[in-house]
Structure 1
Amino acid sequence: MSDRPANSTPPAAQSLFDLGMPSAEGEHSPALAEGQRIARVQIETAAALELDYVIPEKLERHIGIGTRVMVPLQNQRVAAVVIELLESSSYNARLKEIASLVGTRPMFTPGLLKLAHWISDYYVVPVNRVLRTMLPQAVREKPETFLTDSHLKLAKEPPPDIFEKMHANAPMQARILEKLRSNGGEATLSELRRELPRATAIIKPLLKAGWITRSEVRVERDPFQTEEFLPSQPLTLTEEQQVAYVAVMKAIHREAGTAASVGESVEAGKIAAIAGQAERSTSEQRPPSTLLLHGVTGSGKTEVYLQAIAQVLDMGKTALVLVPEISLTPQTIERFKARFSEKSDAIAVLHSHLSDGERHDEWFKVHEGRAKIVIGARSAIFAPLENMGLIIVDEEHEPSYKQEDAPRYHARDVAVVRGRIEHCAVLLGSATPSLESFQNATLGKYELLNMTRRTDGKSMPLIRIVDMRLERRKGTEVSFTNTGILSQRLRMAIQDRLTKKEQTILFLNRRGFNTSLSCVACGETVQCQECAIPMTLHKKDNRLVCHICGARRVPPSKCPSCKEPGLKYAGFGTERVEQAVREVFPQARMARVDTDTMQRKNQLRDTLKDFRAQKLDILIGTQMIAKGLDFPNVTLVGVLNADTALNIPDFRAAERTFQLLVQVAGRSGRGEVKGEVFVQTHAPHSPAIQFSRHTDYDGYALQELEHRLAFKYPPYTHVVLVSARGKHETQAEFTLQTLYKRLEQGLPAGTIMGEPTPASLAKAHGQHRFQLLLRSEKIRVLCAHIKRVVDGLTVPADIYVSWDVDPMNVG
């Protein structure tokens, strides 16, 4: 989907002639030569512009489906993607020739092109926008821009007398020859420069004399080149893991179209016992290729992933692993590099925290077919893998899989569709599946696999609910705890872990020191001028910061409204928690993990390594540490404000709270010692909190699904969020009111449309925001109606209208 101020979609066209462009001398092909072909291309900079071009004879062998090219368009050259090859066109005599290639081989596989058109159709976004999203910016703007280095090789040994004279008259040249000799006869120029900065000049006489040879080699920017990974071996699977593994392998072989049996992978006697579960489906002809692995935290889902991928590689196929947060990537990479140590070069990593050069080289490692496993965050779903055998979406319930900017795709759903296109199995894993996936499994669209026990018989942590309302009434001995940061019970538990040399995680999904600043006299809260939210104090910088637009200002000494000096700070974030914990436990070694502290490259990876190595006692953080991480010595987790998300005006608020609490609690007790979790809350009787206390996913899901059905919310319907935003509040509101009236006309049957309202975040980045919500069981029919109305609507130039299909945030 594209935010746009008006109907800006250009008309589809097949020929430059139709656009009325002046013809440059010699640019037109006078007539098609015999056997000469035509390429239909999608212009990358124009939404629906598909044009035909003649393929020049010199480029004939190099152009195929998915090739990026430069083509003439309105007196300039623009990038385009070949989407179809034709033998003829109705505009043969008027077509121009493709100007040049971009890259040496196609950058889009046929499967990715099909996927791009599906995303364009389902999310109602121009296909050119999708194609641009599929390629990392570094690849799109600088394709095949590789670093090179000079490879020096000892061509022949100088005779002893010459070598002796060289030592006397040219000692630096002799030193280089000795270095090459000691290094097996070869080295790179950059290696020599580390010892001899003037090596570039010194080697020239040696090259001229023929003592050494020089060639240029490509140097890969590997983000993990300094890391060492100790090899690991496959673990013995538990019975539940075995069941899941066999089901996954059956799906992989089924999709691969092979007759191979997985009976040799496990004991023959167990196959018969679990065959019924592996083959279960609502369809008698073809079981689903998507599997939902519902495994409690610590049940060993990752080991199932690893062993399944090992089989996929043995089949000569490739695998893709998606993780929701960049914070999970280092540990995931460590596990995969360790398991596939002999093939570690075949693992590519794709996420936004890589440098442009690293991302460029990792992408081309996949593109050239050298990488067989891709690990990454949301955008890695577009990795140009071929011959795929398995796609894994870990923590599939995570909202971060949803792209918030156009195109607003959901990586989990795109993964399922890509699996169908590529004919490969898709495995969704989570301890707290989304209700959409759970419902699909219940209906038989996905195959449901359950793992209900932790590996090695480890028990689930004991979860204790702390009612902070009672805590405040009784008070505590330490004055700062009256602010509601630490309860007395949690403080005593932390001290106990410090004594036992065990580790603690404190979780609060809010960063900063204080979360608001208000006037005692008039009650006014200091808000961001560009956004309708209170500004947060970051004490280290002594600045009030807006967590929406990033605006910063010095805290005022007087109320901006009434000018009275009485200002009061309230609320707390991770920075305040860190200070409080340091005051109470000065001897403890601790670190804070949030976007304020993890600024340096690899800082997150290094911090998590230190915590795993038990160089830290307490880890304080936001959702960056809430899921997926495995620290065996962590026996205590404290959730400091469990009900924050419950107050968000969103039908998914309770579901997210439940998921987050279960995930955070799952970080505790993953080693030999039983874990304990303290959940501090002001809403102890909330179903989300009570069900999380017993890790009762099924109980919570059934109750929540009843509510969703009653109010016709997903998964029983699809939702489309239509928004209007602009700097002028009246214009934005009027635009949405007008759109509402137009949408009412011819609204598809069964569609429920709400009234236009201000968004819960009524103003952001200086723009006023209004929205309306539509629900329907037939999403494509609804989206087609919305698109027709929006495309025919004339809106003020500075008002932006957008729509989001299956949004994760509706507040």
Structure 2
Amino acid sequence: MPDHPASSVRPAAQSLFDLGMPRFGGEDSPSLQMAQRIARVQIETAAALELDYAIPEKLERQIGIGTRVMVPLQHQRVSAVVIELLESTEYNAKLKEIASLVGSRPMFTPGLLKLANWIAEYYVVPVNRVLRTMLPQAVREKPETFLTDSHLKLAKEPPPDVFEKLHSTAPMQARILEKLRSNGGEATLSELRRELPRATAIIKPLLKAGWITRSEVRVERDPFQTEEFLPSQPLTFTEEQKIAYEAIIAALDGKVKGEADTLAKTPRPELRTHPTLLLHGVTGSGKTEVYLQSIAEVLKRGQTALVLVPEISLTPQTIERFKARFSAQKDAIAVLHSHLSDGERHDEWFKIHEGRAQIVIGARSAIFAPLDNLGLIIVDEEHEPSYKQEDAPRYHARDVAVVRGRIERCAVLLGSATPSLESFQNATTGKYELLHMTKRTDGKSMPLIRIVDMRLERRKGTEVSFTNTGILSQKLRNAVNDRLEKKEQTILFLNRRGFNTSLGCVSCGETVQCQECAIPMTLHKKDNRLVCHICGARRVPPTKCPSCKEPGLKYSGFGTERVEQAVREVFPQARMARVDTDTMQRKNQLRDTLKDFRAQKLDILIGTQMIAKGLDFPNVTLVGVLNADSALNLPDFRAAERTFQLLVQVAGRAGRGEVKGEVFVQTHAPHSPAIQFSRHNDYEGYAAQELEHRLAFKYPPFAHMVLISARGKHEAQAEFTLQTLHKRLEQDLPEGTIMGEPTPAALAKAHGQHRFQLLLRSDKIRALCAHVKRVVEGLTVPSEIYVSWDVDPMNVG
């Protein structure tokens, strides 16, 4: 008989609300009833196995739903999650026992386990893969490994004669006693070590004599422990803010505007009683203040709140606003994002897990924060593509937030100045409640946007030779100079880093490409290296063409490094900084740079998307967008939408103070609808036109998509695998599904692997996903080929 416990597999759930919750022992309590001595577990590290194990008597009261355990499986111990408690199974006599606990309490709430099942079903991934994703690596691998420190306390005062003797015979011991006395009788050993490196040895006689006591205390690795946040007070709402706030409060109460109409359209009560709202507010309209006051109301009700922010917008300024507003509550806010160290992420997660944090702010993966009694989930900048996970499970945090809101029975608020067309369509059809904020706070006007046709600039020629490369137009240079004279600040935006974006041969026309990826290499002049921005490969720039061996090589294109050099040449008196992933290497460097800019120690800020969103600098009156149409020609149906969103967001950084802002958009495609609609900040106009195109070609939001990819080192093998898969998918294809032909991906080669893709569209996503799952599972794929699928992909090029 094989050395593993008997197993049983539950049928896949048919929909979110068909997913039955595993039973607790008692009324929603993780403690185990005496009769329930069997745990059904989901193995974390192997295939998606659900196995049954006996619960040893010593662990009866400690094991509940969501507990992580170690179990024996095929001569080794593996980690697993308890998903159900049973009284008996058909394999009772054969069951092995759970070996041990992982952690002292359940790490998954019932709601998170239900959410994991939904993600596994919808995105077609094993549930164990989802469970691993839900826990930060530092928590999963080393749970409850807290830092500790010795807490020293003055037990009693030495008599004066003893104290005087210590001064002469043991001055270091006397110094420690004096330090404790001056510090209220208490101090930590690490504090003493800063002044006395040998404090560990020095305190031993004092402990033995009974003058001081020692105990171990936990030390939290707080990423903001050195920061001071000045408390802020709620601001007076504008009329539009007040209307939005009242709608959110109604949602917290489980009410929906026009509930009778919603009931007629939506028979499922969960869509009615746990609403999702879309807050469409122009840049500078005060969405953050609405978030803050809504969260304050949630806390008054004894509930918790979760705020998702795109990683790229999770700036120190964002965190500062929340920390300042809720500074009175110690440990009220926990922060989860990728820039934390493993130790900081571990401790922040356990702050949430232990119920000490009432507010969680974080990037995509923070949607899995183990908050109890959720009252409100906020997804700021909900249109951002960074909410989509690139690796399996390829979930979209915005969509997962909506589902978690229904599971947890709480309101969900999506906010953006440029909502995704998917969310906007849901709002206009009544699935979400639509809220509008069309004006900036304090009567501030929207910035004046000027379109600069760079084709005309090239024809006219310029006084400064380097601008012939198309970096700065004459109009933009004049505007920057005007701001410098007025002591106002400027932001220059370009979504490309490096110095030159390509190196080509004037003889044969070949471009120097990465040998592992099918893209041109970018020159980084500081290091004098060509760099691939896909795989990171680096090489010395060649002096001759690698193809025809001729010496005529020419650089073209420009990135932020080139822009910085150009601006320094034209405005040598200006104080400036560049913000991109090349310059922001040191921890807290971004925070320090933005602080300097806010304090007006810098005149010009040059950067990529890192400065495009979420920043509020009142003295910025000019924004220059360089090469605005660079993304328009990408082979992706969302290219124009992203260009529109980016231009509106970047333009929104200007004019947020008392002085009216101005934006210069430099482009070679001035008549593009995305650019023209952004010029007038006309979201509704752009959405109406774009939705008409999407409907005609059955693209989201009028259909769901599944993108299937095959990649491998052998081009023919990868292509043949996808062609075979295409033929299999054609058989019994769900009705209404549109399937394209296998084609090379827009990035045809990356990391040395050739890439092919196949796109399917359907308005019946569950039927399509079930079909894809059946076909893929029944296909034998060569070991050298990797096949993946992405449900609702954000990038299809």
Q: Under a length normalisation based on structure 1, what TM-score does the superposition of the two structures give?
A: 0.93
* 8 Å Cα contact 1:508/1:639 also seen in 2: yes
Q: 1:509-566: per-residue Cα shift (whole Å, max 9, x none)?
A: 0000000001111111000000000000000010000000000000001111111111
Shift of residue 329 of structure 1? 3.5
- Say whether 1:324 aligns with 2:315: no
Shift of residue 325 of structure 1? 2.3
Amino acid at match of 1:357: G
For residue 116 of structure 1, what is the aligned residue in structure 2?
116
Residues 332, 344 of structure 1: alpha-carbon distance in 2 compared, 3 angstrom cutoff: farther
1:463 aligned to 428, 449, 459, which one?
Answer: 449
- SS of 1:61's partner is coil
* 8 Å Cα contact 1:295/1:430 also seen in 2: yes
Residues 287, 208 of structure 1: alpha-carbon distance in 2 compared, 3 angstrom cutoff: closer
- Map 1:566-605 onto structure 2 (within 5 A): 566-605=552-591
For residue 779 of structure 1, what is the aligned residue in structure 2?
765
For residue 283 of structure 1, what is the aligned residue in structure 2?
263
Amino acid at match of 1:623: Q
For residue 677 of structure 2, what is the aligned residue in structure 1?
691
Structure 1 residue ranges (4+ consecutive) displaced by more than 2 angstroms after TM superposition: 33-36, 276-288, 325-329
Shift of residue 48 of structure 1? 1.9
Amino acid at match of 1:157: E
1:376 aligned to 362, 379, 384, which one?
Answer: 362
Q: 1:431-471: per-residue Cα shift (whole Å, max 9, x none)?
A: 00000000000110100000000000000000000000000
Distance 2:34 2:687 in 1: 65
- SS of 2:587's partner is coil
- Map 1:719-730 onto structure 2 (within 5 A): 719-730=705-716
* 8 Å Cα contact 2:313/2:614 also seen in 1: no
Distance 1:190 1:533 in 2: 52
Residues 84, 288 of structure 1: alpha-carbon distance in 2 compared, 3 angstrom cutoff: closer
Amino acid at match of 1:123: Y
- Map 1:540-619 onto structure 2 (within 5 A): 540-619=526-605
Amino acid at match of 2:263: S
Distance 1:303 1:233 in 2: 10
1:345 aligned to 317, 324, 331, which one?
Answer: 331
- Say whether 1:417 aligns with 2:408: no
1:656 aligned to 626, 642, 649, which one?
Answer: 642
For residue 152 of structure 2, what is the aligned residue in structure 1?
152
For residue 17 of structure 2, what is the aligned residue in structure 1?
none
Amino acid at match of 2:548: C
For residue 769 of structure 1, what is the aligned residue in structure 2?
755
Amino acid at match of 1:398: E
Amino acid at match of 2:651: A
Distance 1:159 1:742 in 2: 90
Shift of residue 628 of structure 1? 1.2
1:408 aligned to 366, 369, 394, which one?
Answer: 394
Distance 1:87 1:399 in 2: 46
Amino acid at match of 1:737: Q
Q: 1:635-687: per-residue Cα shift (whole Å, max 9, x none)?
A: 00000011011010000000000000000000000000000000000000000
5+ residue gaps, structure 1, are 1-12, 19-32, 256-275
Distance 2:656 2:34 in 1: 70
- SS of 1:647's partner is coil
Between stretches 603-612 and 182-191, larger displacement belongs to: 603-612
For residue 161 of structure 1, what is the aligned residue in structure 2?
161
Amino acid at match of 2:729: L
Shift of residue 280 of structure 1? 8.3
- Say whether 1:746 aligns with 2:735: no
- Say whether 1:529 aligns with 2:515: yes
Q: 1:228-264: per-residue Cα shift (whole Å, max 9, x none)?
A: 0001000000000000000001101227xxxxxxxxx
Shift of residue 328 of structure 1? 2.7
Amino acid at match of 1:84: E
For residue 84 of structure 2, what is the aligned residue in structure 1?
84
Distance 2:262 2:116 in 1: 29
* 8 Å Cα contact 1:300/1:454 also seen in 2: yes
- SS of 2:498's partner is coil
- SS of 2:496's partner is coil
- Say whether 1:62 aligns with 2:62: yes
- SS of 2:670's partner is coil
* 8 Å Cα contact 2:510/2:547 also seen in 1: yes
Q: Under a length normalisation based on structure 2, what TM-score does the superposition of the two structures give?
A: 0.95
Shift of residue 282 of structure 1? 2.6
- SS of 1:282's partner is helix
Amino acid at match of 1:358: E
For residue 778 of structure 2, what is the aligned residue in structure 1?
792
Distance 1:213 1:434 in 2: 60
Amino acid at match of 1:555: P
Shift of residue 45 of structure 1? 1.2
Distance 1:254 1:695 in 2: 33
Distance 1:58 1:282 in 2: 52
- SS of 1:810's partner is coil
* 8 Å Cα contact 1:366/1:383 also seen in 2: yes
Distance 2:544 2:263 in 1: 69
Distance 2:627 2:244 in 1: 36
Residues 280, 668 of structure 1: alpha-carbon distance in 2 compared, 3 angstrom cutoff: farther
5+ residue gaps, structure 2, are 10-32
- Map 1:385-396 onto structure 2 (within 5 A): 385-396=371-382
Amino acid at match of 1:600: R
Shift of residue 46 of structure 1? 2.1
- Say whether 1:620 aligns with 2:611: no
Amino acid at match of 2:198: R
For residue 245 of structure 1, what is the aligned residue in structure 2?
245
- Percent identical: 88
Amino acid at match of 2:144: E
Amino acid at match of 1:180: L
- Say whether 1:476 aligns with 2:434: no
Amino acid at match of 1:752: I
2:623 aligned to 631, 634, 637, which one?
Answer: 637
Shift of residue 327 of structure 1? 4.2
- SS of 1:801's partner is strand
- Say whether 1:15 aligns with 2:6: yes
Amino acid at match of 1:458: K
- SS of 2:574's partner is coil
- SS of 2:583's partner is coil
* 8 Å Cα contact 1:151/1:215 also seen in 2: yes
For residue 4 of structure 1, what is the aligned residue in structure 2?
none
Distance 1:239 1:130 in 2: 43
- SS of 2:61's partner is helix
* 8 Å Cα contact 1:125/1:406 also seen in 2: yes
Q: 1:105-141: per-residue Cα shift (whole Å, max 9, x none)?
A: 0000000000000000000011010000000000000
Distance 2:690 2:144 in 1: 50
Q: CA RMSD in A?
A: 1.5
Residues 279, 635 of structure 1: alpha-carbon distance in 2 compared, 3 angstrom cutoff: farther
- SS of 2:254's partner is helix
Shift of residue 36 of structure 1? 5.4
- Map 1:244-263 onto structure 2 (within 5 A): 244-254=244-254
- Say whether 1:142 aligns with 2:142: yes
Distance 1:159 1:77 in 2: 58
Distance 2:403 2:595 in 1: 36
- SS of 2:172's partner is helix
Distance 1:519 1:691 in 2: 38
* 8 Å Cα contact 1:47/1:127 also seen in 2: no
Higher relative contact order (CA 8 A, sep 6+): 1
Amino acid at match of 1:588: A
Shift of residue 47 of structure 1? 2.9
Q: 1:351-382: per-residue Cα shift (whole Å, max 9, x none)?
A: 01100000000000000000000001001000
* 8 Å Cα contact 1:327/1:604 also seen in 2: no
- SS of 1:517's partner is strand
1:682 aligned to 668, 684, 695, which one?
Answer: 668
